[in-house]
Amino acid sequence: MADVNVSGSLRRRLALILTGGAALLAVILFLVVRALAAQVAQQGQDNILNASMASVLDTAVIREGRVTLDFPYSSLSMLNTAADDRVFYAIHEGATLLSGYDWLVPQSGLSAGDAYFETTSFNGDQVRVATGVRILTGTDGPRTVSVSIAQTQDALSDTLNAISRNIVLLGLGFFMLVSALAIWAASTTSGQMHRLTTSVTRRGPQDLSPVTQPVPSEMAPLVGSLNRLMSRLDHTLAQSEDFIAEAAHRIRTPLATVRSHAEATLQRVEQVENRKSLQAMVRAIDESSRAAGQLLDHAMVTFRAENLEMSQVDLADLLRDLGQSMSPVAEMKDISITMEIDGPATLQGDAILLQNALRNLIDNALKYAPVETGVTVRISKAARLSVSIIDEGQGFASDEIQTLSGRFVRGKDMDNKVGSGLGLTIAHEVAIAHGGEMILTNTAEGGACVTLYL
């Protein structure tokens, strides 16, 4: 997987977008709710200011040619707040200040009967001003009286701050909830992909069947392409397998014909030279077919060694089956195969590879062991599980023991035996693929002993 061009994580990207969105939403929520709260609070203050202003303005009368007002007590007491806000007033007739604070100057051009609100500042404090105008009709004509009531906004900002704090908490809670949801959503989405990945990764090297487990519709095109790729690969593999099978058939069948004819002819031919050449022919055919078989085996071992199809393998069962299938060959030389196996010997391994390696070793032993001797197959369950194949032949030459497991290396003293020199290589590579090793030794009696540590 090292050669995959990775551009960020989909899960992280999804989580980031969702939490980022949640943060933005939380900020917007905060601003909107705060603005609404400010508006509502302002409206409340305005209503009270308006009531206070109106109650004062209502008392305005013209008495003896002068404008008089009578401050009702309640007009100011209704403005009491918890924060002890200060209250200011100003009463003007036209532009002339009749009473109150001179900095409270009403706007000009206000129409009677309406209330006007504005926010201004006094000595650095923010104040809200409500102004109302009334036109009194006196003997000397209409007179305009305006009343302005102002109040600082400490209580209002206290309330707003309290509300803000609550909104911040609410926003944070919202953000955290949505973030948790985002992470959950991101991981369930990527979990789908992860499950697909695991199901594809867990396949054996031979499994090219399409993915059948349900996938979300967004992943369907990917899985579809994957399935098409696998079916193409399967097709190609099947074709090349068919090709190999066909090639083997085309080559091995005529070879078999030649061999059988040569053998049949040998029964009739008496002349020594002719017999020699016929025997050489049979030998050459055996050699080529054996080499072809072992080359295919070796190719298979090399391929599978990289993608071991692991399963629980019982070496005892495997060796007993092998022993049975090899026994006719052993019988031809009156060799007895002794199985020194007690109880099952299970390991995690590739059954086909192990079978191939052990078959090659037993085959070798049968080939090099003298007539009427024994071949022993022994499983040892000491510190490491091992299988030894021991014959009663001449053993390995001591100077060759190190090199014999190399590719195409055969021992020198092979008595014209047919062989390709790949048998030990195959066994060696299978042992290494299983994290083990192959050790060649000679027994005390001089026979060869090949031990696979697995």
Partner 1 sequence: MKYLLVEDNLELADAVASRIRLDGHTVDHAAKIAEASAFVDTGDYDLILLDIMLPDGDGRSFLKQHRARKNLTPVIVLTARSQVSDRISLLDLGADDYLTKPFDHAELQARCRAVLRRNAGSAQSAQTIGDVEFDAVSGLLNVNGNCINLRNRELRLLELLIGSKGQVFSKQKLVDRLFSYDDDVSENAIEVYIGRLRKHIEGSNVQIVTLRGLGYRLDYDG
Contact between 296 and partner 1 by CB under 8 A: the answer reads yes
Question: Which one of the spans 47-55, 86-94, 104-112, 253-261 is the region binding partner 1 (CB under 8 A)?
Answer: 253-261
CB neighbour class for 134 (10 Å; exposed up to 12, middle 13-18, buried from 19): middle
Counting Cα atoms < 13 Å in the Cβ hemisphere of 355 gives 17
Contact between 355 and partner 1 by CB under 8 A: the answer reads yes
Size of the site for partner 1 (CB under 8 A): 50
Quick one: tokens of 377?
A: 């197959």
Which of 392, 348, 353, 352 has the alpha carbon at shortest distance from 371? 392
Question: Which one of the spans 12-20, 82-90, 414-422, 443-451 is the region binding partner 1 (CB under 8 A)?
Answer: 414-422
| 12 or 276: CB nearest partner 1 | 276
The separation between CA 71 and the C-alpha centre of its own chain, rounded to angstroms, equals: 78
Site string for partner 1, 84-123 (x = CB under 8 A): ----------------------------------------
d(CA 54, CA 147): 8
Contact between 413 and partner 1 by CB under 8 A: the answer reads no
- Beta strand 374-380 with 336-340 is parallel
Contact between 245 and partner 1 by CB under 8 A: the answer reads yes
| Interacting residue with partner 1 among 283, 320, 378, 410 (CB under 8 A) | 283
| 288 or 442: CB nearest partner 1 | 288
The length of the chain in residues reads 454
CB of 258 to partner 1, least distance (A): 7
Footprint (CB under 8 A) of partner 1, residues 322-341:
325, 327-329, 331-334
d(CA 395, CA 441): 8
Question: Which one of the spans 62-70, 117-125, 294-302, 375-383 is the region binding partner 1 (CB under 8 A)?
Answer: 294-302
Quick one: tokens of 178?
A: 């949505």
| Interacting residue with partner 1 among 415, 432, 445, 446 (CB under 8 A) | 415
* Cross-strand pairs, 180: none
| 92 or 359: CB nearest partner 1 | 359
Give the count of beta carbons closer than 10 Å to the beta carbon of residue 379. 18
Give the count of beta carbons closer than 10 Å to the beta carbon of residue 429. 21
Question: Which one of the spans 15-23, 91-99, 277-285, 428-436 is the region binding partner 1 (CB under 8 A)?
Answer: 277-285
Contact between 74 and partner 1 by CB under 8 A: the answer reads no
Written as one string, the DSSP assignment of 25-72 is HHHHHHHHHHHHHHHHHHHHHHHHHHHHHHHHHHT-EEETTEEE----
Which of 229, 227, 219, 224 has the alpha carbon at shortest distance from 193? 219
d(CA 66, CA 58): 15
Contact set with partner 1 (CB under 8 A): 245-246, 248-249, 251-261, 263-264, 266-267, 270, 275, 279, 282-283, 285-286, 289, 292-293, 296-297, 300, 325, 327-329, 331-334, 352, 355-356, 367, 371-372, 415-418
